[in-house]
Amino acid sequence: MTHIQVPFPEGFLWGASTAAHQIEGNNTNSDWWVKEHSTGTHIQEPSLDACDSYHRWTEDMDLLASLGFTDYRFSVEWARVEPVEGRFSRAELAHYRRMVEGAIARGLRPMVTLHHFTVPQWFEARGGWTADGATELFARYVAACAPVISEGVSHVCTINEPNMIAVMAGQAKRGDIGFPPAGLPTPDDETTEAVIAAHHAAVKEVRAIDAGIQVGWTIANQVYQARPGAEEVTAAYRHPREDVFIEAARGDDWIGVQSYTRTEIGPDGPIPTAGDVERTLTQWEYYPAAVGHALRHTAEVIGPEMPLIVTENGIATADDTRRVAYYTGALNEVASAIEDGLNVQGYLAWSALDNYEWGSFAPTFGLIAVDWETFERTARPSAEWLGSLGRTRQLPRTAG
């Protein structure tokens, strides 16, 4: 098998990502905790202890560093930091500061996400993102995170996948259950406006904390592909679900690209994935080329100067050899995007650990397996391989 030397530029971020609610456990003050335990919920199982990373984050970081990664993206949980409106927990801020320092001490550069899908219960109860004053409340929380992100943090993400927040708000407003068979629900325009305003306010706060921090947000990219003759339909479908959020990143320091699969669009809209196609545990089409398309589309919308960071990319599978194959294909795409001159500055896999996939622990995205009884962590062969690639830079060639 021929190999290519991956052309990662100097300072390239090489790591894995997680999110607080998905790994910490017992995030009891969050809106999700309430949803997980409400009667008649459509959520399959609650997050409960998740990976117990709230207590075991040192083990997680030890493993990631020993595997060869140099970057770790994790999130601060707003519901812990501000459990009651206007009351900030010094102990929780100190906890997240310890995580930042713990990462740096292990040679992992922390990328800190300030909001990853969950909000405090009190924020949801007062109407969430579209209620009066939501932007100011988020900005105040971001300012309160100053002790966490002040020193040694070079990358901050304000809001993870704002486009999915708008899509889920649209779905909730209409009272729909589940996603359509193909594509995404129609986003709620009011929520779109609100999260964009919240992002812009948060960027200002982060820069006020430290002008040296590189701040951005991360967009879910569904790789909408037009079937012949459906180019206009595709563009119209994609714009409110994706491009509007990419455009809102103008003036940021970087933009996060998150992709897993593709969505094909015909003249009548999204086309369900054919029955004979390989699917992952999330039922998405196995499509490692997605990240290349996502990077190219993002650069096209935002312009060639903007630094692109792959902040999530990966596969839920019970077969770790498919995980290696997926990352091999995906990284070939990243390499070719860099060769074509795209300003790609990092790659963070989703996910460091098997975790709570918003309703179920079944889709295993982890490079590291977690024993749900003992919480013991075991690095999978894919983790050893991917981690070492940061050093060897030798990637089996699949493309071109």
Site of interaction with ligand NOJ (CB under 6 A): 19, 22, 160-161, 258, 312, 350, 357
> Is there a contact between 359 and 44 (Cβ–Cβ < 8 Å)?
yes
Of the pair 8, 350, the CB lying nearest ligand NOJ is at 350
136 Cβ contact partners less than 8 Å away, ≥ 6 residues apart: 201
Of the pair 22, 135, the CB lying nearest ligand NOJ is at 22
**CB of residue 312 vs ligand NOJ: minimum separation in angstroms?**
5
Of the pair 8, 361, the CB lying nearest ligand NOJ is at 361
Q: Where are the alpha helices (DSSP H) in 264-356?
A: 290-302, 320-339
**CB of residue 115 vs ligand NOJ: minimum separation in angstroms?**
11
Of the pair 135, 221, the CB lying nearest ligand NOJ is at 221
Specify the 3-state DSSP secondary structure of 6. coil
Find, among 129, 163, 158, the residue nearest to 259 by Cα.
163
**CB of residue 260 vs ligand NOJ: minimum separation in angstroms?**
6
> Is there a contact between 355 and 50 (Cβ–Cβ < 8 Å)?
yes
Of the pair 233, 298, the CB lying nearest ligand NOJ is at 298
CA distance 329 to 190: 38
> Is there a contact between 260 and 288 (Cβ–Cβ < 8 Å)?
no
**CB of residue 94 vs ligand NOJ: minimum separation in angstroms?**
25
Region at 25 (left for phi over 0; alpha for psi -120 to 50; beta for the rest): left
**CB of residue 339 vs ligand NOJ: minimum separation in angstroms?**
27
**CB of residue 161 vs ligand NOJ: minimum separation in angstroms?**
5
Of the pair 15, 97, the CB lying nearest ligand NOJ is at 15
**CB of residue 358 vs ligand NOJ: minimum separation in angstroms?**
6
Of the pair 21, 80, the CB lying nearest ligand NOJ is at 21
Q: Where are the alpha helices (DSSP H) in 82-230?
A: 90-105, 121-125, 134-144, 146-149, 162-174, 189-209
Give just the sign of the alpha carbon dihedral 355, 359, 364, 366.
Answer: negative
How many angstroms separate the Cα of 189 from the Cα of each of 65, 165, 166, 185? 41, 11, 7, 12
Q: Which helix (H) or strand (E) holds 350?
A: strand 344-350
Q: Which residues pair with 14 in a beta bridge?
A: 347
Of the pair 29, 258, the CB lying nearest ligand NOJ is at 258
CA distance 231 to 82: 45
**CB of residue 85 vs ligand NOJ: minimum separation in angstroms?**
25
Radius of gyration of the CA atoms of the chain, in A: 20
**CB of residue 220 vs ligand NOJ: minimum separation in angstroms?**
6
For residue 163, how many C-alpha atoms fall within 13 Å in the half-sphere facing its CB? 26
CA distance 200 to 268: 35
Interhelix angle 290-302/320-339, rounded to 10 degrees, is 30
**CB of residue 292 vs ligand NOJ: minimum separation in angstroms?**
18
| Matching residue, tokens 């994706």 | 242
Of the pair 21, 109, the CB lying nearest ligand NOJ is at 21
Residues 40-46: contacts with CB within 8 Å, 24+ apart?
42/177, 42/178, 43/359, 44/359, 44/360, 45/359, 45/360, 45/361
Of the pair 253, 312, the CB lying nearest ligand NOJ is at 312
